[in-house]
Amino acid sequence: MDMDVLNMFVIAGGTLAIPILAFVASFLLWPSALIRIYYWYWRRALGMQVRYANYDDYQFCYSYRGRPGYRPSILMLHGFSAHKDMWLSIVKFLPKNLHLVCVDMPGHEGTTRSDLDDYSIIGQAKRIHQFVECIKLNRRPFHLVGTSMGGNVAGVYAAQYPEDICSLTLICPAGLPSTTDSKFIKQLRELQESERIDRIPLIPSTPEEMADMLKLCSYVRFKVPQQILQGLVDVRIPHNDFYRKLFLEIVDEKSRHSLHENMNKIKVPTQVIWGKQDQVLDVSGASVLASAIPDCHVYLLENCGHSVVVERPRKTANLILEFLALLYSMDNNKKQA
């Protein structure tokens, strides 16, 4: 074989080998770095841009896509110990001309974390209102979406700042009493009785605990490689002390039933989406909301657990779009009447 041709193959092979070896090394040695790169790439692929907003000395981190238009902007509030990127699976199925905003909740990811901050549900709703005013999102009423803890905050926000929003989507929201104890609530009771409350199932410290948490939150059984489980744990461990403090705050008497205490004040059209097989927050909460909120549309998803956003992203996105289209149609009919 000609030496020039041989050298060309060697150079080409070496060029391909370097990124492959880098990927393998990251996967085996630094899986947490690979997870961060994954989210960065996914944000770029979907056109989401990261920005910061400041309220006095407090900083909010958020991502957005699109600009405010004739359709309402959509603000999304994530759940406990998550971050703004958890919404990317939903964003994938939403039109690019919609104005979307995903914010890191107080103390999470790029948003300020302070020991002096009020992390009760009411306190978090106040912080989100500050964020909304910072980016002037409430120039026109917007659609608010929240899941789990974020659903609790979203419901309280709708009750406390009704002039800001035009409609609401609650996905498996916390903050409601339940006649049926979920698997998660039973586990908490057992831990409390054994005085091992530091072992909260939603705050994993090992790959095995992470796997258990994924099983608890999802009806769909995802096959997650051990290295990825390790990476997910590595990303969370530096924040676990904060998560424990936050968890105790939101299950405290002041916040435990915040949504329930405020739901009679919610006057905007409301959509409730819940996984029928939710093992974290029992699906009976959906009927509690339906009985209290006048214009409430409930959708229960078969073969779906607490992680609705991850398990059924396309279905969830379509339900939100259909709900907004219905409201837009009703609004037009009223104007023409």
SS3 45: helix
SS3 101: strand
Active-site pick, 99, 255, 306, 307: 306
Six-digit token string for 148: 């789990």
Closest CA relative to residue 163, chosen from 140, 145, 146, 135: 140
Question: Locate tokens 């309280």: which residue?
Answer: 156
3-state secondary structure 83-98: CHHHHHHHHCCCCCCC
Between CA 18 and CA 6 the distance in angstroms is 18
Q: Is 260 a catalytic residue?
A: no
Chain-centroid distance of CA 216 in Å reads 16
Whether the CB-CB separation of 99 and 68 falls below 8 Å is answered with: yes
Whether the CB-CB separation of 130 and 58 falls below 8 Å is answered with: yes
DSSP H stretches of helix in 218-312: 226-236, 240-250, 258-262, 285-292, 308-311
Active-site pick, 148, 218, 258, 307: 148
Q: Is 143 a catalytic residue?
A: no
SS3 208: helix
Whether the CB-CB separation of 303 and 220 falls below 8 Å is answered with: yes
Query: Residue 246 CB: number of other CB atoms within 10 A?
Result: 23
Six-digit token string for 111: 């948003």
Six-digit token string for 316: 């969830």
3-state secondary structure 178-192: CCCCCHHHHHHHHHH
Active-site pick, 85, 164, 278, 282: 278
Q: Is 148 a catalytic residue?
A: yes
Between CA 38 and CA 36 the distance in angstroms is 5
List the beta strands (DSSP E) in the chain: 49-55, 58-65, 74-77, 100-103, 142-147, 165-171, 270-275, 296-301
Catalytic positions, written as ranges: 148, 278, 306
